[in-house]
Amino acid sequence: MEKSVQLKKETIKSNHSGAGEYDMVIIGSGLTGLASGLMWQKNTDNKRTLIIEKNSYPGGYSTSYERDGYIFETTQLFPDIVDILKYLEIEIDLKQFEGNFMRRLVVDGDQVEEYKIPAGTENFKEYLVTTFPDDADKIRSLLDYSVDMFKQVRKLKAHSTTRDKLMIPFQAPKVVANLNRTYSGLLDKFGITNTKLREVMETFTSFSGVPSDRASAIYATGAMLSSMTRCFRPYGYFDEYPAKMAQLFQERGGEIRLGAEVEKIVVENGEAKGVKIKGEDGVIGAGTIITTVDPMLAMRKLVGDEHLPASYVEKLENIIMSVSSINVALGLDDKIDMTTLDLDYPYNVLSTGLGTAEKLFEGYLEGDQAFTDDCFHMAVICPSLTTGAKNTVTLRCTPFALNQWKEWRENDYSKYKQEKEKWGDFFIGLAEKYLIPNLSKHIVVKDISTPATYARYSGSPTGSLYDMASLVTQFGPKRLPMKTPVKNLYQPKFAHGLYGTMMNGVQVVDMLLDRKFNNGNSLFAPNNR
């Protein structure tokens, strides 16, 4: 079938001058790479900067693609990063979800509970109080505490002086108190025992495919507040966002080289000197290198253990990477009226009840998956309700491990296809049963991504969607630091998601500029605004 639209990502072309030496080389043109490049440009006198990307388009995990005339997307929710967009002068037409943030169905045998979680923290609080009146006081206390804790995160420094460190207990006591607390620990602290209320609250940890008894309380609170305070999506397709960033970066003098895979970060005497591109001789020299690819790939393969201290290698060995996924993208005929199905939310989430996330994560840790008819979790997203394009539905199903998916894809394609179809049918069946009657009768195009797909496109050896898992055991000071043991090599992988990746860019540039741009702050609060 003919292509119906040109995606914005396809309009970005390499503009590598062929130079062999740069002040800054950024590996990867995902959102972290592009945010780092733009922040760097804006706060320096436009030093020679090159972004190197192995794919033929920018954007990494935040992208759109076409299959037989239907446009599908990976990302679906644009959190509240409007101030950063303004700062970088990125113009993108966004739809704000004013009403509900999420429709949540919790299945328990034959019973289905439905919740409609409103956007905005105050609205959310009132909704919970009305839905769970017996827990009203606990809900108010928890949410007020959460908002306060997030405000205290704003006071923290990502790059602290000794004085900053001494001030932390006074400026951010709630952050200190929760540094080692899990999200379920936070719910316990407020005496929240009502199973149904916990199910609703734990929605925010399952965002990252992590169960609440392992998720960092601070991270989950941040994810909740940054996404529900004001949430958006583009009126167009999601690839427009990285494409705009890439275009601005190039217009402002930056170079992007697409279709070039970094094979090696060249290290001499403990110092990063440049990068080697696969299939080419020679090295592109760099004063500073920022790697934005999966840390296991960057540090273990591109740098190599031989250039790293044993303690760092041990830390890498113990890191748990985040989960992978099966995404079922469906193009539907025009006989189905999607507008009547009450699906126009950033997320429709369908899952079984309390304990589901724990069981699914255990399955992932064992290297496989643990989905059954009685244990599932999936998000159902309908981008065409905003874009106005032909009907599309995406079923996002986490967590899956890479397991044999890569092996099947490379060496036993019929098995790969068979497994894909099996899981596709499983998730389509669930969506049909609970959310979209007769869904299977309307399918025109079906495109299923597996953990092997994610591994291939991102370069992540585990097909991980969300970088290092946001577990409490790898949060804050326990996460891999941005400054690597290799001199001049930086790895801003503090957080994931559209919000987190922008913060990655803010923090790494601020570190490189000795806090001259963001004053060392953990969140975006630049000096020169």
Ligand X SMILES: Cc1cc2nc3c(=O)[nH]c(=O)nc-3n(C[C@H](O)[C@H](O)[C@H](O)COP(=O)(O)OP(=O)(O)OC[C@H]3O[C@@H](n4cnc5c(N)ncnc54)[C@H](O)[C@@H]3O)c2cc1C
Binding stretches for ligand X (CB under 6 A): 27-33, 52-55, 60-62, 74-77, 79, 261-262, 292-293, 297, 325, 327, 458-459, 465-466, 496-499, 501
Shortest Cβ 451–ligand X spacing (Å): 11
Contact between 287 and 273 under an 8 Å Cβ cutoff? The reply is no
Q: How many CB atoms lie within 10 A of CB 108?
A: 14
Question: How far is Cα 526 from Cα 83, in angstroms, rounded to an integer?
Answer: 11
Residue 258: phi, psi to the nearest 5? -95, 160
CA distance readout (Å), 303 to 115, 300, 455: 48, 6, 19
Two tokens at 135?
Answer: 């827990």
In the complex with ligand X, the residue whose CB is nearer, 325 or 387, is: 325
Do residues 26 and 233 make contact, with C-beta atoms less than 8 angstroms apart?
no
Q: How far is the CB of 290 from ligand X (least distance, A)?
A: 11
CA-based angle 99:105:111, to the nearest 5?
A: 140
By beta-carbon proximity to ligand X, the closer residue of 297 and 430 is: 297
Least distance between ligand X and beta carbon 295 (Å): 10
Q: Considering the complex, state which of residue 215 and residue 498 has its C-beta at the smaller distance from ligand X.
A: 498
Nearer to ligand X, 292 or 474 (CB): 292
- State the minimum distance, in angstroms, from the CB of residue 175 to ligand X: 22
Q: How far is the CB of 28 from ligand X (least distance, A)?
A: 3
| Distance of closest approach, residue 184 Cβ to ligand X, in angstroms | 23
- Closer residue to ligand X, CB minimum distance, 190 or 237: 237
Contact predicate 35/505, CB 8 Å: yes
Nearer to ligand X, 390 or 456 (CB): 456
Residue placing its CB nearer to ligand X in the complex, 52 or 217: 52
Q: Shortest gap between Cβ of 256 and ligand X (angstroms)?
A: 11
Q: Which residues contact 331 (CB under 8 A, 6 or more apart)?
A: 67, 68, 69, 70, 72, 390, 391, 392, 443, 444, 445, 446, 447
CB of 11 to ligand X, least distance (A): 17
Residue 53 beta carbon to ligand X: minimum distance, rounded to whole angstroms: 5
Residue 97 CB, nearest approach to ligand X (Å): 12
Of the pair 62, 484, the CB lying nearest ligand X is at 62
How many angstroms separate the first and last alpha carbons of the chain? Answer: 49
Alpha-carbon distance values, 146 to 54, 151, 190, 220, 297 (Å): 40, 9, 11, 10, 35
Query: Considering beta carbons, is residue 60 or 236 the nearer one to ligand X?
Result: 60
Q: Nearest Cα to 394, choosing from 405, 404, 385?
A: 385
CA torsion sign for 75, 80, 84, 89 is positive
Q: Tell me the β-bridge partners of 332.
A: 443
Helical pair 497-512 and 31-43, crossing angle rounded to 10 deg: 40
CB nearer to ligand X: pick between 405 and 499: 499
Residues 6+ apart with CB under 8 A from 193: none
Q: Is 114 exposed, middle or buried (0-12, 13-18, 19+ CB in 10 A)?
A: exposed
